[in-house]
Structure 1
């Protein structure tokens, strides 16, 4: 709820800033137009509802910003987080004088705080005041854009709309600053006339010297109070840490000799940062993504509190098992725990969502297909590298389309071979039938490919396909960016061996009777063999087909 309030208050303030800058942008036309546009701005924001929304959002956002700083357990932030924090802390010293000189000057001194008053004050002042006003726009805008980027970058629509959002992020402040600069230039030219500024200040009921001094003093007081609150938040942090240590200590073991001990109250992500242990967190620890998730073990795992509704929603989205939690949301009680981050520290928004719930690892019944081009070494001899790459890519596209059309998942290309998995999201019978259908489609696709390349090949391409089904360990395996969902185990090894047997039997397809039985398919006219598989006890019954294309349609 705190995060949502902070975000929605930011939306209101951002909309206010946009309308203010668009009003400034009218200065590109003329001083008269920019002042007329201000009437609409005043109508929108100076009414009762506008005032409640604006000042309520400002109070909520400032309060929650200080609360977030006090609540944060470690100041080990990313460069972008530090940038947003520094810009946010700079808004008050940059913008307080502007607020005091308009809102408070109007309410307490009766000043007509339109553009004549603001522009006249800038011209009558120093260049430092002008730099402060123009710098305020950049500080507020960049702070807001960074915050919105972190809030939106995990949304499915964000990448689609990113070019348009970039255009808005560049054009709105550029137009606003440009309009304000031109209006200030035009007003400065008018101010060259004797008595012009004095007449303007009389028309807007400008305060006397004592009143102006009072406005500056009010601005200084507000800046001092905000600085005191900021220092108080930093000063209260060590006292809070001392108090929390009385409640107990949490010990985390990350493996490889890496351990972290910290007082109760910190999240696992905060403890990782405290111990300088790299840990992924795309959303910055706000519980909006799943990249910080960890596998939890250890003797005191039973003491962990259950996931809160928001955490449970994210965990359910990625299909996380019971022992997986979000490191940014889990604040373990005193005890000893074993922590294993599941994603590399360099993970980005792409890794925030898992396409397959099996990524965490588990046993599943799958059907495995291996296919390999026969005699490809002799085919590629004497060909230019470009021709070999072209030929392989045509073959991979044909076989890949066949696998996907049958409902399988391409696992990897190994040299001139292909591995595919069936059953990641389907029942065993359907997975086996999909594997058979894929073999049939691959054989037909190879016929079409041979016909298309008949003028370039001395002999047609031939393939060998091995099919087997059974339990396998399925999970995401690899290192950093090269990780992918795959399967390992006896079923995978057996399917690979069956593909090799197609050479010995001189056929295109060798399929295990285990897969055929599970699929409910009989091939009585195909030769039956009892084969020995290296690393496997006993014999395996298989069927050999001269052409996989002779299989009937099995996609249903």
Structure 2
């Protein structure tokens, strides 16, 4: 809930700053255009609904920034997080004098704070304040852009749109500054005319010295309030630290036996950062992306249940039991945790994945294919020729697998492993695997024909297909993560592929494949083959050429 409120208030402030910059950019056209834009701007933001929305959002956003500082147990963070927080804290201090000198004097003394007034103050009489206000606008814009980027980058469509949004984020403040400069030069020339200046002074109801003192006094009050709130947060953190230290130490155990000690109440993500343990967190620990998720081990029975916001994120990505967000979990007892994503996780890892990618038991058809006598072939060829032939072979085999709806598991040396039926029924998977074998045989014939000038003899392959229950999922580490399967059926399919050498044929399929696919292969030789680790022999059919 607080995250939603902070986001909403931030969007309101971002809209205010954005429309303010757009108004500034109209100065490139003329002073008249600038004031027309201001009339529209004021109509929206100085109406009662606009005023309540704007200043309510400003107060809410600042308080929530302070609250986030209080909740933090560690100030170890990424650079972008630190920049965003510092920019957010600086805005009220930079904004106070400008608001009091425009909206404040307009409301109390009836000063007409149009662009002529503002440019006379910020460009003609006190240009140093003009620089300060430019810094304020750019600071507020950057703060909003950073927050918006780290919110939107979790959206699937953002990657395609980000170059255009980045360009807009650069162009708008630049044109706004140029518009302000153009208007400033125009007013400075007009201000050299004493008659015009006197008329504008009367029109504006120029504030006297007492008004300037009033602005200065209330600016100090605003600074003291904001500074006092920051000091209160610092004091509250010290008190909380003292209380938590009295409640003892919590031990967190990470993979590899690494242990870190923390005070009760600190999040697992903060503990990882404090201990220098790399831990994924695309959203910076705001509970949005889910990339910091962990599996709980020993001690999980003492963990408090997830709140509604955390459950919403966990449900979105479809995590199994005993998985939590490290940025939301605050252990009070010793706990074993296992980060589930690599530290270099990206926004795409925040999106939900099909259940079978996260780890599931499936009955699938497994296909292995391997080139015969490839070692002998590679010994008599240059490395370039070996790589060239292999890539042509892998492409041909891969296209055959893709054409039949299979999933390429991996290329192993000169071999191929593919899975069929991960997203369909086992029966359909068996039929697709047989069709893939047929297409692979045809593709090999075409490849041999196109490479006849490079080959001493045609390439020959052996294919083995078996059906069985395996565990499937994305497995690996860092950049070497891929979808694969493990289990006895995988070993059996590999053994059938190797047996094609013994039976001098191109394809061997288990009887289970034939039955489940509904295919009659009774015309082909039947055998039984012993598989290491299995008590019963596997019934097989030997097919001399898969394209038959």
Unaligned regions of 5+ residues in structure 1, if any? 551-556
State whether residues 318 and 357 of structure 1, in contact with CA within 8 Å, keep that contact through their aligned partners in structure 2. Answer: no
Aligned pairs for 1:290-369 within 5 A: 290-298=290-298, 300-332=299-331, 334-353=332-351, 355-369=353-367
How far the C-alpha of 1:28 sits from its partner, in A, is 0.8
Q: Could you tell me how far apart the structure 1 residues matched to 2:512 and 2:48 are?
A: 75
How far the C-alpha of 1:420 sits from its partner, in A, is 1.1
How far the C-alpha of 1:379 sits from its partner, in A, is 5.2
Give the 3-state SS of the residue equivalent to 2:143 in structure 1. helix
State whether residues 120 and 197 of structure 1, in contact with CA within 8 Å, keep that contact through their aligned partners in structure 2. Answer: no
Segments ≥4 residues shifted beyond 6 Å:
none
Q: Could you tell me how far apart the structure 2 residues matched to 1:441 and 1:287 are?
A: 48
Q: Could you tell me how far apart the structure 2 residues matched to 1:319 and 1:518 are?
A: 31
How far the C-alpha of 1:459 sits from its partner, in A, is 4.3
Give the 3-state SS of the residue equivalent to 1:256 in structure 2. helix
- In structure 2, the partner of 1:525 is 523
Aligned pairs for 1:18-417 within 5 A: 18-194=18-194, 196-245=196-245, 249-298=249-298, 300-332=299-331, 334-353=332-351, 355-377=353-375, 387-417=385-415
How far the C-alpha of 1:426 sits from its partner, in A, is 3.2
Q: Could you tell me how far apart the structure 2 residues matched to 1:94 and 1:246 are?
A: 40
State whether residues 467 and 515 of structure 1, in contact with CA within 8 Å, keep that contact through their aligned partners in structure 2. Answer: yes
How far the C-alpha of 1:385 sits from its partner, in A, is 5.1
How far the C-alpha of 1:150 sits from its partner, in A, is 0.7
Q: Could you tell me how far apart the structure 1 residues matched to 2:123 and 2:213 are?
A: 17
Structure 2 residue 420 is matched with structure 1 residue 422: yes
- In structure 1, the partner of 2:496 is 498
State whether residues 18 and 141 of structure 2, in contact with CA within 8 Å, keep that contact through their aligned partners in structure 1. Answer: no
Using structure 1 for the length normalisation, give the TM-score.
0.92
Structure 1 window deviating more from structure 2 (240-249 vs 464-473): it is: 240-249
State whether residues 62 and 88 of structure 2, in contact with CA within 8 Å, keep that contact through their aligned partners in structure 1. Answer: no
How far the C-alpha of 1:247 sits from its partner, in A, is 5.5
State whether residues 84 and 146 of structure 1, in contact with CA within 8 Å, keep that contact through their aligned partners in structure 2. Answer: yes
Q: Could you tell me how far apart the structure 2 residues matched to 1:153 and 1:525 are?
A: 58
Give the 3-state SS of the residue equivalent to 1:434 in structure 2. helix
How far the C-alpha of 1:362 sits from its partner, in A, is 4.8
Q: Could you tell me how far apart the structure 1 residues matched to 2:294 and 2:58 are?
A: 36
- Number of aligned residue pairs: give it: 548
How far the C-alpha of 1:537 sits from its partner, in A, is 4.2
How far the C-alpha of 1:38 sits from its partner, in A, is 1.2
Query: Cα deviations across residues 39-87 of structure 1 (Å, max 9, x unaligned)?
Result: 1112222222222222222222122222222222221111110111111
How far the C-alpha of 1:380 sits from its partner, in A, is 5.5
Structure 1 window deviating more from structure 2 (309-318 vs 87-96): it is: 309-318
State whether residues 398 and 449 of structure 1, in contact with CA within 8 Å, keep that contact through their aligned partners in structure 2. Answer: yes
Structure 1 window deviating more from structure 2 (93-102 vs 349-358): it is: 349-358
Give the 3-state SS of the residue equivalent to 1:483 in structure 2. strand
Q: Could you tell me how far apart the structure 2 residues matched to 1:427 and 1:303 are?
A: 41
Query: Cα deviations across residues 194-236 of structure 1 (Å, max 9, x unaligned)?
Result: 4654443332012101111211221222122212211221221
Structure 2 residue 434 is matched with structure 1 residue 439: no
Q: Could you tell me how far apart the structure 1 residues matched to 2:385 and 2:198 are?
A: 83
- In structure 1, the partner of 2:5 is 5
State whether residues 474 and 485 of structure 1, in contact with CA within 8 Å, keep that contact through their aligned partners in structure 2. Answer: yes
Q: Could you tell me how far apart the structure 1 residues matched to 2:530 and 2:360 are?
A: 28
Q: Could you tell me how far apart the structure 1 residues matched to 2:22 and 2:546 are?
A: 67
Q: 1:455 to 1:257 in 2, by over 3 A?
A: closer
How far the C-alpha of 1:189 sits from its partner, in A, is 2.4
How far the C-alpha of 1:302 sits from its partner, in A, is 2.2
- For the aligned residue pairs, the C-alpha RMSD in angstroms reads 2.4
Give the 3-state SS of the residue equivalent to 1:338 in structure 2. strand
Q: 1:38 to 1:481 in 2, by over 3 A?
A: same
Query: Cα deviations across residues 110-137 of structure 1 (Å, max 9, x unaligned)?
Result: 1101101110011344443122011112
Give the 3-state SS of the residue equivalent to 2:547 in structure 1. helix
- In structure 2, the partner of 1:474 is 472
Q: Could you tell me how far apart the structure 1 residues matched to 2:455 and 2:193 are?
A: 88
Aligned pairs for 1:506-545 within 5 A: 506-545=504-543
How far the C-alpha of 1:321 sits from its partner, in A, is 1.6
How far the C-alpha of 1:7 sits from its partner, in A, is 0.8
Q: 1:515 to 1:250 in 2, by over 3 A?
A: farther
Using structure 2 for the length normalisation, give the TM-score.
0.93
How far the C-alpha of 1:106 sits from its partner, in A, is 0.7
Q: Could you tell me how far apart the structure 1 residues matched to 2:306 and 2:521 are?
A: 51
Q: Could you tell me how far apart the structure 1 residues matched to 2:344 and 2:288 are?
A: 17
Structure 1 window deviating more from structure 2 (145-154 vs 318-327): it is: 318-327
Structure 1 window deviating more from structure 2 (371-380 vs 207-216): it is: 371-380
Q: Could you tell me how far apart the structure 2 residues matched to 1:379 and 1:10 are?
A: 65
Give the 3-state SS of the residue equivalent to 1:237 in structure 2. helix
Give the 3-state SS of the residue equivalent to 1:420 in structure 2. strand
State whether residues 468 and 489 of structure 2, in contact with CA within 8 Å, keep that contact through their aligned partners in structure 1. Answer: yes
